[in-house]
Amino acid sequence: MKNDVIGLANIRSTLPYSLIEWRVDVDKQKAAQLGVSISDIGALVQMLTNGFKVGEYRPDDSKDEIEIRARFPSSDRTITGIKNLNVTTAKGLIPVSSFIDVVPKENRQTVSRENGQYFQQIAAGTVNESEVTAKVKELDNWLKNKDLGAGVSYAFSGMAEETEDVNQFMIIAGISAIFIMMIMLLTQFNSFYQSFIILSSVTISFIGVLLGLLITGKPFSTTMTGLSIITLAGIVVNNNIVLIDTFNKLKEESPHLEKSIHIINACKQRLRPILLTSLTTIFGLLPLAMGLSLDLIGRELTVGSRVVDWWQNLALSIVFGLGFSTFLTLIFTPAALAFPYKIREKFYERFPEKVQV
């Protein structure tokens, strides 16, 4: 697996190491013909192992009894020593080797079960901790192409399971956040269309995040990318809110002017605040996005570290997503605001009789 799936480290398994167990096979038919009973053979095996219990003894200063066992000297207690023994029968001494055989057998001291089935756990880590999701998918595809045998199934747990739980939480949290933002926007703007324009900026920022990951060649991390999108949503939505709110105020103050003039004036007034908000965030996260770790106390600049590798994906997604969405916000949002008025003008030009006086 390590050679087929690269990028894994510290691979380990809970499967215990196999041990050798010596089993004594007795030819019961031949032993019966020679007049040897199974109990006699069992006593001989005990004499070679833990000993044959002959009684119990309890010392005066002890509450527990001590077993008295008899067994052969340590020099005679060997694996093949049983074949050199003789058993006494009515016909005389009979070599034990004439009706027994010592066979080695694999033995495992512990067997793990889960839900009544044999269970084995294989653990591994990734060289880059942000690639857990990608490696799980790669392992899943690798296992699907392998013949594991009948009745063998697999499932991912550990950090992969936690990542899946986080992914489910991020999806639910994202949908809930958009729903709450939609309600709040409707109560403030009293317009479905303007609320839709503001929420569409989140989609625009998501496209910028994907382009950033594609350009830099970074993997898509559901957790870190999801956090970056949620972070972007607050900044991008705020930029669109101030722009549309300024447009609505200008429209109320000067209703006689054309709507295109109000849109242009709103963009002029909000251009500096939007750019300052976006640029300060982008330049603040740019060192982390570039993989730089700055130690102000130690006066050291380090390229790449464990902390930087973990948060670089998040910072990179915010930088590209915010830059892309800010650029398009200043173009898409004014165009979307002007769209219904341009449609209305075209309609009245084609059907002048519909104009309301």
The band of 293, judged by pLDDT with boundaries at 50, 70 and 90, is: confident
pLDDT digits (tens, 9 = 90+) for 215-246: 887 777 777 777 788 888 888 888 888 888 88
Both tokens of 354, joined, read 């519909």
Give yes or no for residue 146 having a pLDDT over 60: yes
Both tokens of 164, joined, read 């899946």
Give me the pLDDT at residue 248, please. Answer: 87
Give yes or no for residue 201 having a pLDDT over 60: yes
Above pLDDT 90, what percent of the chain? 0
Domain 19-109 is found in CATH 3.30.2090.10: yes
Name which of 285, 196, 279, 181 is nearest 233 in CA terms. Answer: 181
Q: Is the pTM above the cut of 0.85?
A: no
Pick from 64-68, 150-154, 246-250 the range whose average pLDDT is largest: 246-250
Both tokens of 43, joined, read 């006593």
Both tokens of 165, joined, read 């739980």
Average pLDDT over residues 138-155: 75
pLDDT digits (tens, 9 = 90+) for 243-269: 888 888 888 888 777 888 888 888 888
Give yes or no for residue 357 having a pLDDT over 50: no
Give yes or no for residue 2 having a pLDDT over 60: no
The residues, any chain, with a CB within 8 Å of residue 242's CB and separated by 6 or more, are: 270, 273, 274
**Distance between CA atoms of 61 and 108, rounded to whole angstroms?**
40
Q: What is the 3 state secondary structure string of 254-321?
A: CCCCCHHHHHHHHHHHHHHHHHHHHHHHHHHHHHHHCCEEEECCCCEEEECCHHHHHHHHHHHHHHHH
What is each CA distance from 75 to 60, 80, 103, 279, in whole angstroms? 33, 12, 21, 85
Q: Which helix (H) or strand (E) holds 126?
A: strand 122-126
Looking at domain 160-354, its CATH class is: mainly alpha
Q: What share of the chain is helix, strand, coil (3-state, %, to 5)?
A: 60, 15, 25
- Tracing tokens 């591994």 back to the chain, one arrives at 124
325, 232 contact by CB (below 8 A): yes
Give yes or no for residue 316 having a pLDDT over 60: yes
Give yes or no for residue 165 having a pLDDT over 70: yes
The band of 23, judged by pLDDT with boundaries at 50, 70 and 90, is: confident
Q: Which residue ranges make up each domain of the chain?
A: 8-15+121-157, 19-109, 160-354
pLDDT digits (tens, 9 = 90+) for 85-131: 777 777 777 777 777 777 777 665 666 666 667 777 777 777 766 56
Give me the pLDDT at residue 342, please. Answer: 80
Q: What is the 3 state secondary structure string of 205-264?
A: HHHHHHHHHHHHCCCCCHHHHHHHHHHHHHHHHHHHHHHHHHHHHHHHHCCCCCHHHHHH
